[in-house]
Structure 1
Amino acid sequence: MPLRRAAVATLTLGLLLATAACAAEEPAGTPRKTPRPTPTASATPTPPPVLAPLRGTVAPSGGLDRPSLAAKIDNHEGARPQVGLERTDIVFEELVEGGLTRYLAIWHSDLPEEVGPVRSVRPMDPDIVTPFGGIIAYSGGQEVFVDMMMAAPVVNAVFDFDDSGLFYRDDLHESPHDVIVRAGELVGRHTDLPAPAAQFSYAEGASVPTALVEGTPNSVVQQRFSDSRWPSWGWDAGSATWLRSQEGAPDLDAAGAQLRASNVVTLLVEIDDYSYEDIPRTLMIGTGEAWVSTGGKTVHGMWSKDSAAGSIRLVSDIGTPITLAAGNSWVELVPSSGSVEIIP
């Protein structure tokens, strides 16, 4: 009896297993389902940083959605120290009558509430400011020069025509070196204007500025505009900037700090001395020698500008485009009658 029961149990178990196996089999002709992989979350690519067009530095998101402001800044001894000059993106120094110089300064990345003292325009200013677009502020000028600037594709803010309080005379300087413009308010009235396009190429990422690759180490860049104006730039390793002097003395801002630049771009330019009597006109459309000083080194090359709207192109002696370091720049428009000396 025990053996029979065991056989029956074994038979029953076999039948159950066979039935289960048959139930598990799929009907003939039924397509097999391919298992789907479990979806995994894909990494969102990080957008590249937005660079300030006139400095090449990383810009805060949405923080530079405004036009640039250019202003004609006085460089007479009576105008020093200037207001806001230390916060510029780019400054052009140009020869004016009497062997003096004047600045056409550009602000975009860092906009002060006030800048000045502002003075009158000169015939080369439309060719300098046109590529930036935006706004230009100045005190006035000869009618022919004002008409030239009014014809340029920029918004003109002129002290002589101001009836809305954008300009005032301060108590720190004597007339005519005392006209200040409320820069923040002026730009705030024109937020519909676009931001400026980049004017120079900057070293990005792992790349380095051209002067550090192709240039020669030097300690001083000396420029002579005339017997009255000879600015210079000395390399300061501690701050990693070029420090500015004028006529052998440190050039100071309103806080008593020496003016400085990440890049000094020196261009040898021709001067038209005849078209406007005693008013020299720097010829900005053309070509000439260039020296670009960055990081304690200077690279020699050529500059060119093919139209009023065109930006300045810089090429080294071996034919490569010159890139600048991220930061502010001063452009020295030295007349061919002057001189440029790169001092080791």
Structure 2
Amino acid sequence: MATVGTGRRARTRRGTAVRSLLALCLAAGLAAGCTVPGDPDDGRGPSQRSPGTSGREPGPAVLAVKIDNARGARPHTGVEDADVVYVEQVEGGLSRLMAVYATRLPDRVGPVRSAREADLELLRQFDRPVLAYSGAQSKLKPLIEAAPLTAVTPESFSGVYTRGAGRPAPHNLYLRPGRLMDRPAGAEALTTGFRFGRAPSGGTPEVSRTVRYPAARFTFTWSAGDGRWLVSLDGSPALTSDGGRLAPATVVVQYVTVRPSKFQDFLGNNTPYTETVGSGEALVLRGGKAYEARWNRPGAEDGTTFTTEEGERMNFARGQVWVVYAKAP
């Protein structure tokens, strides 16, 4: 019987094995479940994952990562490489990020935190996405198991996570995408419904826009020199772990219904549910201007389309897109 070493070569072999197993699971549509060996470095045994399937033909899988946005979790790592960043309200009026990767995979992403019920509806627009998260309420776990996605947690795919130094748990857990996937899925996997191209006519000059949650604040300031919207979180510049600035090309403030869910955190705070299926108003920021728009997502398996006030498709600027879900007035 072969033994498993603990050095660099052994970890490389394990990373390759995990990526290969995940690829096989995705190719098989996850119909029979996937057994993944525990990390030899942490002493855990095998874990098993048996999510449901959507019935659609499997396509390339995007990687979605739930990211902590508490003050102690900043600066973030790898968020600047995401194609799309979704912002949602969670318990206590705070916020979390969902970073979606299709064209690039950073070395590390995080800090990684727990999933929410609304994430499952949001991710139905992608073909069997890979969802990396850490922790979920026990009542939510059956819903995650039944969802058409591959859940990657420290328990099920332990070898792809690492703890970072310099900050306390739970703000120090990071995903290593290279140990999970050999390459990014590609732009064709981004079935968001977004369209990119020239800006429409009109629009109102916009220097800065702030979106407020009960206990969180996002400000986007236009930088003509960078051709991007510089992000500030709770009044401070949103930096990357290497000292750069988070700066999307397009920001969408999408006005949605935010209602109480049937879940609560351990303090008894209700978990908000952000409804991303339906239609409503939106504000699109691109090129130093703000455009009034409408959004429409007929069903959970559909992407979201945006149209101008004149009814034409709204084009986004090429580059990273941030979608901030704000409670409709």
Q: What TM-score do you get using the length of structure 2 for normalisation?
A: 0.76
Deviations 1:179-223 (A, max 9, x none): 1111122122998xx8343530111xxxx123xx23111101111
SS at match of 1:86: helix
Q: What does residue range 89-238 of structure 1 map to in structure 2 within 5 Å?
A: 89-133=83-127, 134-163=129-158, 165-188=159-182, 195-197=189-191, 199-203=193-197, 208-210=198-200, 213-226=201-214, 228-238=215-225
Structure 2: which amino acid aligns with 1:257? G
User: What is the aligned partner in structure 2 of residue 284 from structure 1?
Assistant: 276
Which of 291, 298, 320 lines up with 2:312 in the alignment? Answer: 320
* Identical-residue share of aligned pairs (%): 33
Gaps (5+ residues) in structure 1? 1-64, 338-344
Unaligned segments of structure 2, at least 5 residues: 1-58, 265-269
Specify the alignment match of 1:9 in structure 2. Answer: none
Cα distance in 2 between the residues matched to 1:149 and 1:238? 43
Q: 1:81 aligns with which of 62, 70, 75?
A: 75
CA deviation after TM superposition for structure 1 residue 295, in Å: 0.4
With over 3 angstroms needed to count, the CA separation of the structure-2 counterparts of 1:336 and 1:224, relative to structure 1, is same
Q: Give the strand-richer structure, 1 or 2.
A: 2
Q: CA deviation at 1:148?
A: 2.1
CA displacement, residues 199-251 of structure 1 (integer Å, 9 cap, x when unaligned): 30111xxxx123xx23111101111112x211010000001100001122211
Q: Does 1:333 align with 2:320?
A: no
Q: Which amino acid aligns with 1:197?
A: T
Give the root-mean-square deviation of aligned CA atoms. 2.1
Q: Distance in 1 between matches of 2:177 and 2:91?
A: 27
How far is 1:122 from its partner?
A: 0.5
Residues 6-85 of structure 1 correspond to what in structure 2 (within 5 A)? 67-85=61-79
Matched-pair contact (CA < 8 Å) for 1:125–1:149 = no
CA contact (8 A) 1:261 1:330 kept: yes
Deviates more, 1:125-134 or 1:215-224: 125-134
Tell me the TM-score normalised to structure 1 length: 0.72
Following superposition, the deviation at residue 97 of structure 1 comes to 0.1
Report the Cα offset of residue 67 of structure 1: 3.0
Structure 1 counterpart SS, 2:87 = strand
Question: Quick check: which has more Rg, 1 or 2?
Answer: 1
Question: How many corresponding residue pairs?
Answer: 264
SS in 1 for 2:216: coil
